[in-house]
Structure 1
């Protein structure tokens, strides 16, 4: 009915006016003029309804850990003299960060829900809706854009537009003290008690020298060799910074076509985050290598070791967005040395499986002088022997922690105060 009125009001009113003039009927002419005037006024009001109406979303934190709460405030303003008789705000929110108070409805896009609010705006009015989101799942959670819809007083004509843009809430995985995982050593991954060793830093080349038998093949500078007509090896600037590389294997089932075990994947991500956080607190340079990729990325995660103030943030953000799809075997990523895997670095592998290629790569890295430690996140029996490489099993400890976290999520009270519209300045 509304659609019929929207499309036919002008034709009907003109028809009444013409018919009234033809048969000289004053009532019919007056009715046509009334319909024409009311319809024109309603149409004009609809077009002006969202003019100078502003909407913005204020998010208290764009980064949080699983289980924390994030405050979101929806701001709606009307800067014009003409009031808005009704306006509907439909905000798009992530399903994995549910609203503590407020009823939502499923969105057409998987992973999103709609929060709808309807109100009226006076002249130069300002409204606020405070919300609280509870983060329950790690990941990159997007909010927005919001849809604004309004119209005339009678609801005959409507206008809508999108506002607020998009924002991303990055939710980090949970982290635990290493003691809770069953790693109780004061120096859990083999740091040397005599102080940091001096390692040649392959990123800082300071010159070349004649080749000495025993130099690694990758140390040879072929351009300098061609100029000197004899083998030349690179000279590296020494570095005392101890580096710990977390190597995360996202493979949780033997074959990629089998999919992924979500429990084992989340467990591995939590363990990797806990190790990185502990190492950073111990003043070690940390890095991350994974055969998983970030959202909307087409390459595996590789973060070189560093001690910058934002290094832990970079690692946690990468772990927050890690997906279950392995782009390559982890062994292939570890074979790619370069900046992400510096000489002398300690390598802590977090894995649910131990395929033959990964076992062979880890043994080779150990023979080359790396300290290698493996964290086993599953209770499966591994057939591959790792020799002298230590393996720490955390499956039983993690099962207890996961049950405790699930119980806390179920029993944690949610604030059930009624969401009110705050009219600013009134």
Structure 2
């Protein structure tokens, strides 16, 4: 014991741990030996005492030998890949290296994994020669998105007689990220996206005038016709006009995560459908050249407001998927926080709504005024959660038909979502409806213009 303390030294603690590693067989031998020694004393049989001492000594010797064993081993874990879509397997490779000069005995290797990834993998490794290594692998798979820790890796040592087992743990952890699956969507034009593609893409001004030009220094290879002589004379070095910079069309994917708006849970729930659909829509629009951000009812915005929007689309897609991988239900009562984030001029707004009452339907209608075009996918909570006998609407809940009517009156292209619907089919339907609305508005505008000219005798 250490100076007056109540705890032992590390050596004594390790020895106690070794005695705590006695298996059922080892404890049985020890108990049998002690019982035989007691019986020999009572009965006066010295031969029985020798048998008892032998039975009791065997597990004690095994404990001491195993405690003195000094294997120097190194363990590592490699995930391939470390980010997978839901319901997709990832391969985990374990590598054990013997760094000591002596071969090891039989080793049992065990890795700790969350129960949602499957049972704990266990492997028995035969004798590993000095300087040698062994590699084993297993697969993990989860139907639920999230981040799952793997580790620590545990090494179990055992004596040849099975009297004692010791467990040594490594300290390293790895993380497997399970992101939502993404569904390929048809490349159909949506209302408000023509400004971001082809000849219709918006451009910033070339700023070629004498008064509003913003020049930059000359670089090797610049066209000499772009030299701005006034700025060159002012700065004393060659200055050229900036090139015309294309602007990406912007899109906001709004995801309603309110717990009150989504009933049920699990991979087949309405909320998981909405998360998967939001991931698919964001990935599709990024591929089409949009600058995409994810917005939730809590006001969380990814990428954040400080983002310059110049990051690579692959990096943005990875950031959005990582965010959606850990997204959970919120405790928000309404959509006001998301409405406050929408400043106006958002371009295309794609929303995935759950159950809405009249107040939240009105807030969603106000959001429409802050975007160029708006498409809403409204999940029918009753259809998703209906039991064998069916259930009624909760107090204050607006039927999905009424929700669609309110949103359409506000200018949304709104579609209902029921179990079995695919986002690809709804996406095409949304494009058709948005195109029909655009044509109708254009026709109405043309008719009004013709009527006005007729009323004024053809004068503008």
- Determine the structure 2 residue equivalent to 1:249: 256
Whether 1:156 aligns to 2:163 is yes
- Determine the structure 1 residue equivalent to 2:366: 364
Count, aligned residues: 330
Question: Once the 2 structures are TM-superposed, how far is the Cα of residue 248 of structure 1 from its aligned partner?
Answer: 0.4
Describe how 1:382-393 pairs up with structure 2 within 5 A: 382-383=402-403, 385-386=406-407, 387-393=409-415
Describe how 1:47-58 pairs up with structure 2 within 5 A: 47-49=67-69, 51-58=71-78
2:155, 2:279 → 1: CA distance? 40
Question: Once the 2 structures are TM-superposed, how far is the Cα of residue 397 of structure 1 from its aligned partner?
Answer: 8.7
1:358, 1:374 → 2: CA distance? 14
Describe how 1:274-285 pairs up with structure 2 within 5 A: 274-285=280-291
After TM superposition, the structure 1 stretch with the greater mean CA deviation from structure 2, 263-272 or 136-145, is: 136-145
Retained in 1: the 8 A contact 2:112–2:151? Answer: yes
1:375, 1:352 → 2: CA distance? 9
Question: Once the 2 structures are TM-superposed, how far is the Cα of residue 175 of structure 1 from its aligned partner?
Answer: 1.4
- Determine the structure 2 residue equivalent to 1:192: 195
- Determine the structure 2 residue equivalent to 1:316: 321
- Determine the structure 2 residue equivalent to 1:326: 330
Structure 1: runs of 5 or more not aligned = 99-112, 200-237, 293-298, 403-426
Question: Once the 2 structures are TM-superposed, how far is the Cα of residue 281 of structure 1 from its aligned partner?
Answer: 0.9
Question: Once the 2 structures are TM-superposed, how far is the Cα of residue 91 of structure 1 from its aligned partner?
Answer: 1.6
Cα deviation, 1:97-148, whole Å, max 9, x if unaligned, reads 44xxxxxxxxxxxxxx312222333332421112233453322222222322
Retained in 2: the 8 A contact 1:72–1:132? Answer: yes
Question: Once the 2 structures are TM-superposed, how far is the Cα of residue 84 of structure 1 from its aligned partner?
Answer: 3.6
Retained in 2: the 8 A contact 1:344–1:370? Answer: yes
- The alignment partner of 1:272 has SS state of helix
Whether 1:286 aligns to 2:287 is no
After TM superposition, the score normalised by the length of structure 2 is 0.59
Retained in 1: the 8 A contact 2:26–2:162? Answer: no
1:394, 1:84 → 2: CA distance? 64
Greater share of residues in strand: 1
- The alignment partner of 1:322 has SS state of coil
2:126, 2:94 → 1: CA distance? 15
After TM superposition, the score normalised by the length of structure 1 is 0.64
1:357, 1:37 → 2: CA distance? 79
Question: Once the 2 structures are TM-superposed, how far is the Cα of residue 385 of structure 1 from its aligned partner?
Answer: 0.6
Shift in alpha-carbon separation, 1:72–1:328, aligned structure 2, 3 A? same
- Determine the structure 1 residue equivalent to 2:84: 64
Cα deviation, 1:364-407, whole Å, max 9, x if unaligned, reads 233345533212233643446122422342636953589xxxxx
- Determine the structure 2 residue equivalent to 1:273: 279
Describe how 1:9-88 pairs up with structure 2 within 5 A: 41-49=61-69, 51-88=71-108
Describe how 1:101-180 pairs up with structure 2 within 5 A: 113-124=119-130, 125-163=132-170, 165-179=172-186
* Higher RCO (CA 8 Å, separation ≥ 6 residues): 1
2:128, 2:94 → 1: CA distance? 17
2:56, 2:419 → 1: CA distance? 75
- Determine the structure 1 residue equivalent to 2:222: none
RMSD of aligned Cα (Å): 4.1
Retained in 2: the 8 A contact 1:49–1:152? Answer: no
Retained in 1: the 8 A contact 2:104–2:128? Answer: yes
- The alignment partner of 2:323 has SS state of helix
